[in-house]
């Protein structure tokens, strides 16, 4: 998995759809070595899930992986 386009910093973008729009087509599978495999993604910070959603979709669509599992180490607190 490689990032194929520059994106602005997302930390101040609160709209989920806007985040998805900015990340769309931003990642690509480098080769077919993941074909049919189960993949575990690690993320240091889970905020909206937009990045993980886009990366997961790319893995399924481009890499033809079997399953994707996600492990996030931190979740941000929601604003009150």
User: For residue 60, what are the domain limits?
Assistant: 2-72
pLDDT at residue 22, rounded to an integer: 95
> Which residues, 6+ apart, have CB-to-CB distance to 73 below 8 Å?
42, 43, 44, 45
pLDDT at residue 15, rounded to an integer: 94
pLDDT at residue 79, rounded to an integer: 63
9 lies in a domain? Answer: yes
pLDDT at residue 31, rounded to an integer: 86
67 lies in a domain? Answer: yes
What is the tally of structural domains in the chain?
Answer: 1
41 lies in a domain? Answer: yes
| Unique residue bearing structure tokens 């996030």 | 72
Measured between alpha carbons, how far is 71 from 9 in angstroms, rounded to an integer?
22
pLDDT at residue 25, rounded to an integer: 92
SS3 assignment, position 16: helix
80 lies in a domain? Answer: no
32 lies in a domain? Answer: yes
pTM: 0.81
78 lies in a domain? Answer: no
48 lies in a domain? Answer: yes
Q: Give average pLDDT by consecutive 10-residue segment, the chain, 80 residues.
A: 91 93 92 92 89 94 92 75
């Amino acid at each position: 998995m490689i990032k194929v386009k520059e994106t602005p910093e997302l930390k101040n973008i609160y709209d989920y759809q806007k985040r998805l729009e900015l990340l769309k087509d931003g990642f690509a599978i480098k080769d077919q070595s993941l074909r049919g495999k189960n993949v575990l993604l690690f993320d240091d910070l889970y905020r909206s899930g937009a990045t993980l959603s886009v990366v997961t979709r790319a893995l399924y669509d481009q890499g033809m992986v079997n399953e994707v599992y996600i492990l996030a180490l931190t979740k941000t607190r929601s604003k009150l």
